[in-house]
Every structure is written in structure tokens, then in C-alpha cells.
Chain A
Amino acid sequence: MSEKDYLPGAQVPDARGYFGAYGGRFIPEALVAAVEQVAEEYEKAKADPAFAAELDALLKDYTGRPSPLTDVHRFSAEAGGARVLLKREDLNHTGSHKINNVLGQALLTRRMGKTRIIAETGAGQHGVATATACALFGFDCTIYMGEVDTQRQALNVARMRMLGAEVVAVKSGSRTLKDAINEAFRDWVANVDSTHYLFGTVAGPHPFPMMVRDFHRIIGVEARQQVLDRTGRLPDAVVACVGGGSNAMGIFHEFIPDAGVRLIGCEAAGEGAETPRHAATLTKGDPGVLHGSRTYVLQDEDGQTIESHSISAGLDYPGVGPEHAWLKDTGRAEYRPVTDDAAMQALRLLSRTEGIIPAIESAHALAGALELGRELGPEATILVSLSGRGDKDMHTAAEYFGLYDEPGAGNASGDNTANGGK
């Protein structure tokens, strides 16, 4: 594959949904008709100006797009003096980038005449966005969430239920995102006539990787112009966190033809990519098939999926979108592991220097930007996708940094950092 194959308008993916060797459609026969219907309806919608107009109006008036670009000077000082610019997807309605894709697929669901939506969620951000759209459009909504994640992201469970969604805590397997996806697929097979599976990331069978990317492309389209307007040139690097990889594909895509712009995905390295407890799929995984597409997978030599680990529920996934697999193999994007600890330190740093509390997922990108800034120095400009806000993570952060008062201790300063931050 040469770089020109990646120019806008080029046939990427191919007709069978392949980005190079990755992608495709590995699904049971019972879902073939439904997935083909999604693909056909999406092609029709793309050609329909009324669809684009309705989606644009929702993105503007409901989501609040365009999202701002924020210069973070005090944070930049810690990043080797490089100029760091944040694309503020955290300021979207519902608090993350996920709403971009959800509104697009909700419109598609209505076009297909379906009345029920199911979705998986890890951190709960996709679940909250989906529950939100279902409230707006009047769809029945069931969200599958690993039991571990319902505990660490309890605030988002409450938000989804407030919005009228049913939240199912999935108790099988690793009880995290992977198993939530398995359970959503089982529901879809049984209820496919009435139900659309509103897949939340750039993984899954074709057309989901392409379609979800397309709905998130606006992140990069806006950000590229905003950076040009602000700085007069393109950034040296674009940095985003990668679990399944939706916010990263969204911000990367418009920059792919800009050969001078480095694209850097930050994977969750958990306790360290050299330990067994991580979610660094592109760094440590091997090509295989998971959840409907060929991509990198954390797996053993028998093709059994290995459980991932990350402090971030949204990145705690042993697969990754197939387009990222291709970007890695072609060398167009680089993928770096970021540990739980590095992400948490970056989360605290942005909070303390800029008054912005990022999601733990997005904090992985911030940690990557700190490292990259120190490599590139003060002449560099780094665009970071701040994919979500951190309200949902306050319980995890409070435990991590010891922000809760000890019972009876009387210390309410909230500055309990003497324990080294852990």
C-alpha cells in the first residue's frame, strides 16, 4: 500500500471492508442480512442531502459543535515547552466524542425502521451517548456493560438509567468491554428484526469500522482547520488514545494525507506492556479475528483471547479497530504504550495546570503528549484529542490519589499527595 491509497476518495476500505489485510466481516449467518442492511442504508444515507442536513443540525444545536481548540500553556511547560493544543471533545453534550457516531447511527436506525437499540459500553461514555440519543429519538435502549465496569463507572450507570436505558451488567468472561460486546452480539442475533446494534467503536464487521470513523471524521476536519487558523501551519503530531480507536480514527483521518504530520496512538499499558496486565493490543498483540474483523488481538497461541487490563475502562479491550492495524503496518501511524500511572499523573497535571479534568482514557493521550513534547522540544506543536471529560472517573481518581477524607481524620484539603500519589 502506498500513501496515495489513503487520500480522501480512494477506495479505503475495499468493497469487502478490508484495510489492507485487516477488517472484513466475520459474522454468523444470522447477522449477515442485518449487517448488509446497515451497509446499504449507510450508502443511501451518504447520498441523501437530507441525512447530512439533519445530522449537521444535530451536531451543531444538540451536541454543540464545533468543539473548541484550547491552548494549554501551563501544561505545555511540562511537555518540554512544546505547544500543546487540545481538541475539546469533552465539551460535547454527554461529555465525550461518542455522541458524534451515536447521532449518525440513530438517524440510520430510524431510516431502517427499527425501534430498539442495543450497545456495548466500557467507560460508559458510549452507553450514555446511546441512551441520550434513544431518549431523543424515542427508541427502546439496552446497554451491555461488564460488571467490573459498572462498578468503576457507577456514575455513568446512573446516567444511563436516568435517561431511560436498561443497563445489563455482564458477568461472563473478564466482565469488561470484550464480554459486553459478546453479550450485545447475542442479543442482536436473537432480536435482529427490531434491533440495531449501535456499535461504539471503529471495530466490528464491515461497515462499522468505516462508518463509525466517518461519523467521527468531523473531529479531525474541525481540528485541522482550527490549528491552521490558530498557528498558521499544521501540527507536528496528532496524539489520541486508542482502545477500540474511535476518537483516534476520527482525529487522524483528515491528517492522513499530510505526510509531515505524525499520528500517534496511545494504548493502555496498564501495569506495563512488559507485564501480563495491559491492554496494549497493537504493541503486544498478533493478527487474528475478534468481534467480526481481522485485526490485532491479544491472544494466546491457540487463538484464545487474553484478558486485558487497564485502569481505564474505555481502553480495557484486547482488540483494536482494523484501520489502526493497517496504519500501524504501513507505518503511517505510531502506537505507544502508556501505563496506568503515567495516565493518572497526566490527569492530575492537566487538572492542576489548566482546570480541565480529563477522562482517564484521554489522559493516556496527554501522557503521550508530555513524552512527545520532551522529545520534540519547544518548536513543536502537538494536537491532542481530549476525547472525554473526567467526571465519571472521580471515584477511581479519588481512590488513586487519596482524595477522600479518612474517616475522622479531619483533613479536607484534598491535597493528599504525600503518599506519592497512590
Chain B
Amino acid sequence: MTSKLSSVLAAAKAEGRAALIGYLPAGFPTVDGGIRAINALIEGGCDVVEVGLPHSDPVLDGAVIQTADDIALRGGVRIKDVLRTVQEVATAHPGAAVLVMTYWNPVDRYGVARFAADLAAAGGAGCILPDLPVEESEEWRKAAGEHGLDTVFVVAPSSKDERLAEVTAAGSGFVYAAAVMGVTGTRSAVGSMAEDLVARTRATTDLPVCVGLGVSNAEQAAEVARFADGVIVGSAFVKRILAAGDDEAAALDGVREQARELAAGVRRR
């Protein structure tokens, strides 16, 4: 059976374009405001959304997402709120694939089987767990498989070829190529590492390869879309919301407009 995530990515491919994947943390700036913001990403043109489950110790995130996580956690966001976010977004946009992205400990603490069951029940399509390497992932993958969830693994420029084969064999949905060495955050240049990593990853798998490296504008999205199956954008959306301050309408317009520009970028020939 083809998963929701796979069919959404296949549909983009059938249009001859890369997919646009947007990230925002749940609960940012509030639970309901976060739901509206993630809906705005999809309205603007994101094919897939990653709902962040904020964590107290986001060691892979740069200052922008740390700030958003802090706001969400200080606002009291709970795992049940993250699951409600997934449910509301998935219900409002049945054509989009909704993933959760989080560090491992919240899932571990919630209960691996329970989290997989509740995420699937909420209409979630899968999970990205960037601090859960393949070697530690067996229990999760079993639970995810039982509930029809995809598990997206991350590869990095430092991953050796034999390692890439191991990682891509374990994953499903797509492969997340984190194509710069460093924490999350917007960057001005795409650089050559990304294309090389995508090529090396493709040599090991038929899964789509989507790239995250701090893309923030249509030009960068177009550049990445030429060699990748999907373009992942997170910090740029978070920045828009932070810049809007307390003006929620401006924040929603901002991220919707940004998604629209990026969606045009991935369609550029």
C-alpha cells in the first residue's frame, strides 16, 4: 500500500517538479495560532508539513527555532496539543501529508507504541526523529510500521556511502538530506555539498530525496529543486512569524505569501 507521504511526493513528481515541505513548531505562538499558521503554509503551496514537537533541549536547532520552541514551551504546549495540531491540519487539508518532527525523548517518554498509535489516529503520515539514528530505531520502526506511519531518516554530508545505504534502507517516505553541516537556520548560499549529497544518496535508494539547508527564497528553492525531489523550509517561516510580533493576521499573511513564493520557486523550469 502506498503511504500518504509517498503519494503526495509522487504527485509532485508527476507534475515535473520538486515538492515543497514546510516546518513550524506546534504551539507557536499559541496552539490555535500554530494550527492556523501551519494551515497557511499548506494554503500557500506546501505539499507536506512537518509539525515540530518542541523540546527543552533542541541541540540540532539554531537560534530561530530555539526561540520558537521556547515560546511554545513557555506557553505550556503539551504532546496532546501537538497531536491535536496534526489532527486539525490533516482534517482541514486531506491532500497534504502531515509529519511530526521531534527529538527522541518526548516520544520515548510518551510511550513508543502509544505515540505511533495516537499520531496515526490523528491522521499523521509519519515522523522525523533527527537524534534517533538507525541503530537505535528498531522499536520505533516496528511501531510506526504497525500503524502505517513513515519514518524519515536524515543523512548528512559526513555520512559515508556505506552508511547512506544503511540509513536509506531503513527509512520510508523520503530521505531528508541535511545538506550543510550545522544546526537549522537560514543561509544565503546553497553551496555544492547539497547536490553531491543528493547524488550519493540517490545511488543507494529509490526513495525521493528532499533537501533542507536553510532555504528562504524562491531563487534558492528553484536551485535546490533542480537536483532534489523536495525542498524543506523551516527557519524562514519561523522568522516571518517572529517578525510579525503580536499581529497574527500579518504573521499568517507572511507565511502564506512566503510559501507561495517558494512554491513558485520549486515550479520554476
Interface residues of A (CB under 8 A from B): 16, 24-34, 172-173, 178, 182, 185-186, 189-193, 286, 288-292, 297, 299, 301-305
- Residues of A contacting B130 in the complex (Cβ-Cβ under 8 angstroms): 28-29
Contact of B104 among A26, A32, A189, A302 (CB under 8 A): A26
Q: Which of B55, B60, B66, B109 contacts A28 (CB under 8 A)?
A: B60
* Residues in chain B near residue A288, CB distance under 8 A: 105, 108-109
CB–CB B107/A303 < 8 A: yes
B residues sitting closer than 8 Å to A (CB atoms) are 55-60, 62, 66, 73, 78-79, 104-110, 130-133, 135-136, 153-160, 163, 167, 178, 181-183
The 5 closest A-B pairs by CB, nearest first: A303-B109, A303-B106, A190-B182, A30-B156, A303-B105
Most A CB within 10 A of own CB, among B57, B79, B159: B57
- CB pair B133–A25 under 8 Å, yes or no, is yes
Verify A172–B66 contact, CB threshold 8 A: yes
Cβ–Cβ < 8 Å partners of B58 in chain A? 182
Q: A38–B183 Cα gap in the complex (Å)?
A: 21
Contact A27–B133 (Cβ < 8 Å): yes
- Complex: chain A residue closest to B183, CB-CB: A186
Known A29-B156, A288-B105, A290-B105; judge A189-B133 contact (CB<8 A): no
Select which of B60, B163, B183 is within 8 A of A33 by beta carbon.
Answer: B163
- Give the chain B neighbours of A26 by CB distance below 8 A: 104, 131-133, 136
Known: A30-B178, A189-B181. A299 touches B136 (CB 8 A): no
Is there an interface contact between B158 and A192, defined as CB atoms closer than 8 Å? yes
Q: Is the CB of A29 within 8 A of B154?
A: yes
User: Within the complex, what minimum Cβ distance (angstroms) separates A173 from chain B?
Assistant: 7
- Minimal beta-carbon separation of A207 from chain B (angstroms): 14
Which residues of chain A are within 8 angstroms of B156 by Cβ–Cβ distance?
28-30, 32
The contact of A304 among B106, B159, B167, B178, by CB within 8 Å, is: B106
Cα separation A121 to B174 with both chains bound (whole Å): 39
When distances are taken between beta carbons in the complex, the residues of chain B under 8 Å from A185 are 59
Q: Given contacts A304-B55, A304-B106, A305-B56, could you give 12 more A-B pairs where the C-beta distance is less than 8 Å?
A: A24-B135, A27-B131, A29-B133, A29-B158, A29-B178, A33-B159, A178-B57, A186-B62, A190-B182, A292-B131, A302-B79, A304-B73
B181 with A190: CB separation less than 8 A = yes
Q: Would A173 and B57 count as touching, CB distance under 8 A?
A: yes
Distance A228 CA – B106 CA, assembled complex (angstroms): 47
A-B contact pairs, 25 of them (CB 8 A): A24-B136, A25-B135, A28-B60, A28-B156, A28-B178, A29-B153, A29-B155, A29-B159, A29-B178, A30-B156, A30-B158, A32-B156, A32-B158, A190-B182, A190-B183, A192-B158, A192-B181, A289-B104, A289-B105, A301-B109, A303-B55, A303-B105, A303-B109, A304-B55, A305-B57
* Complex contact B136–A25 (CB within 8 A): yes
> Given the complex, which residues of B lie within 8 Å of A24, measured CB to CB?
135-136
Q: Closest chain B residue to A16 by CB distance? A: B135
Residue of A nearest to B60 (CB): A28
Residues of the A chain whose Cβ atoms lie less than 8 Å from the Cβ of B105: 288-290, 297, 299, 303, 305
Most buried by B among A193, A289, A291: A289
Interface centre among A178, A189, A304 (most CB of B within 10 A): A304
Let me know if B110 and A302 touch, CB within 8 A: yes
- The CA of A192 and the CA of B157, in the complex, are separated in Å by 11
Contact B110 A33, beta carbon cutoff 8 Å: no
**CB closest chain-A residue, reference B156:** A30
The CA of A299 and the CA of B178, in the complex, are separated in Å by 29
Q: Which residues of A contact B154 (CB under 8 A)?
A: 28-30
Please judge, given known A-B contacts A28-B131, A32-B163, whether A173 and B153 are in contact too, CB under 8 Å. Answer: no
The complex places the Cα of A191 from the Cα of B62 at a distance, in Å, of 14
- A-side contacts of B110, CB under 8 Å: 302-303
Complex Cα–Cα for A173 and B57 (A): 8
CB distance from A337 to the nearest CB of B (A): 23
**Cβ distance A344 to chain B, nearest Cβ, rounded Å:** 29
In the complex, how many angstroms separate the beta carbon of A34 from the nearest chain B beta carbon?
7
The residue from B56, B59, B79 contacting A186, defined by CB atoms under 8 A apart? B59
> Please, how many angstroms separate the alpha-carbon atoms of A25 and B104 in the complex?
12
> Which B residue sits closest to A178, measured CB to CB?
B57
A189: contacting residue among B66, B107, B108, B182, CB under 8 A: B182
Which residues of B sit under 8 angstroms from A190, Cβ to Cβ?
181-183
Give the distance in Å from the alpha carbon of A37 to the alpha carbon of B105 in the complex: 25
Residues of B contacting A186 in the complex (Cβ-Cβ under 8 angstroms) = 59-60, 62, 182-183
Given contacts A32-B163, A302-B78, contact A173 B56 (CB under 8 A): yes
How far is it, in angstroms, between the C-alpha of A297 and the C-alpha of B108 when the chains are bound? 12
Q: Which residues of B contact A31 (CB under 8 A)?
A: 158
Chain A residues within an 8 Å CB radius of B155: 29
Kindly provide the distance from the CB of A208 to the nearest chain B CB, expressed in whole angstroms.
15
Q: Given the complex, which residues of B lie within 8 Å of A301, measured CB to CB? A: 109
Which residue on B lies nearest to A184, using beta carbons? B59
Q: How far, in whole Å, are A189 and B157 apart by their CA atoms in the complex?
A: 11
Cβ of A70 to closest chain B Cβ, rounded Å: 40
Contact of B158 among A34, A172, A297 (CB under 8 A): A34
The answer for the CA separation of A28 and B61 in the assembled complex, in Å, is: 11
